[in-house]
Structure 1
Amino acid sequence: MIIFIEMMNSIREFIDTGGQVLTVIAGVICLMWFLIFERLYFFLGTYKRVRDHIIHSWNARDDKSSWNAEQIRMAHVSRITEQLNKNVALIQSLVVLCPLLGLLGTVTGMIEVFDVMAISGSGNARSMASGVSKATIPTMAGMVGSLSGVFMVTWLQRKTKRRTEQMEDSLLMIH
């Protein structure tokens, strides 16, 4: 319990050092990773049941060669592709948003530095330190969040493409 309290205090101090923009970045990153974990849960668990249900319903059909059968096959593939792609565009948007929010943190931190310089009339490093940290920490956090998301989005897109192709191969047309 003491370790958890110390960890939470460290996180709070880090967020305070980065300013309000860092809180927004943390929220965006948490939402992004929540959606990524939801996709992982689907890919590693739910997908198999959905796939098996579609394949079973296809194999139970007598007609696998007509134009109607082709349309039903395409509908099955489209449904599974839609389920595989769910929230991926939102995750991509959050990945793009992270560095932009980091840039916003840089701008707000530099404004604070310039305010300190205008008020004090000098370039005292100690008085500017808070603004500099509010300028650099959100930038770093936005880039780290974005990079972690880029790798996962790429993996999700690759898996979606592969599983869509596998589904097309599983639903054979008999000519």
Structure 2
Amino acid sequence: MLFLVGLWETVREFLSAGGDVLYFVAGALFLMWALMIERYWYLTSVFPPIRKKIIDDWEARVDTTSWHAHRIREAWISQASDGLTARLIIIRTLVAMCPLIGLLGTVTGMIGVFETMATQGTGNPRLMAAGISMATIPTMAGMVAALSGLFVSSRIEAKAKNLKEQLVDSLPHN
């Protein structure tokens, strides 16, 4: 319990050192990871029974060679593909947004540095350093958030593509 209190205190200090923009980075990061966890769960737990049902339904068909049967096959593959790739665009967008949100923090932090210089002059390096720190922390946080999402989202996309290809291969079209 003491560890969690210390961790919470460290996170709070980090958020206050980086400014309010870090809350937006944290929100984008939370949403991105929630969607990635949901996609991983779908690919590993929800899709396999769907795949099995599609394959069983195809194998139970008497006619698998007619034009109509091929359209049904294509429709089932398309529906499965839609399920496999759902929300991947949102995840990719969030990955791309994280560094941009961090850059917004850099801009607001630098505005704070310039305000300090305008009101206090350049004689107070401690105030300027705090503003520069507030300018660089959000950029770093946005980059770290994007990197964490980039790796996992690319793995999820590859897995979805692989599962679709396996489904297509499992439905012979004679």
Identify the residue that residue 105 of structure 1 maps to in structure 2: 105
For structure 1, the residue ranges without an aligned partner over 5 or more in a row are: none
Q: Which moved more, 1:157-166 or 1:88-97?
A: 157-166
Identify the residue that residue 132 of structure 2 maps to in structure 1: 132
Q: How many residue pairs end up in the alignment?
A: 174
Superposed displacement of residue 57, structure 1? 1.1
Identify the residue that residue 55 of structure 2 maps to in structure 1: 55
Q: Which runs of 4+ in 1 moved over 3 A?
A: none
CA distance in 2: counterparts of 1:50 and 1:123, whole angstroms: 67
Cα distance, 1:123–1:53 mapped onto 2, change above 3 Å:
farther
TM-score (norm. length: structure 2):
0.96
Superposed displacement of residue 160, structure 1? 1.8
CA distance in 2: counterparts of 1:43 and 1:140, whole angstroms: 31
Give the fraction of aligned pairs with identical amino acids, expressed as a percent.
46
Superposed displacement of residue 123, structure 1? 4.4
Q: Deviations over 1:107-162 (max 9, x none)?
A: 00000001111111124220112211110010001001111111122112211221
TM-score (norm. length: structure 1):
0.96
Identify the residue that residue 145 of structure 2 maps to in structure 1: 145
Matches within 5 A, 1:26-175: 26-174=26-174
Aligned amino acid, residue 168 of structure 1: V
CA distance in 2: counterparts of 1:167 and 1:107, whole angstroms: 48
For structure 2, the residue ranges without an aligned partner over 5 or more in a row are: none
Q: Which moved more, 1:121-130 or 1:55-64?
A: 121-130
CA distance in 2: counterparts of 1:146 and 1:127, whole angstroms: 30
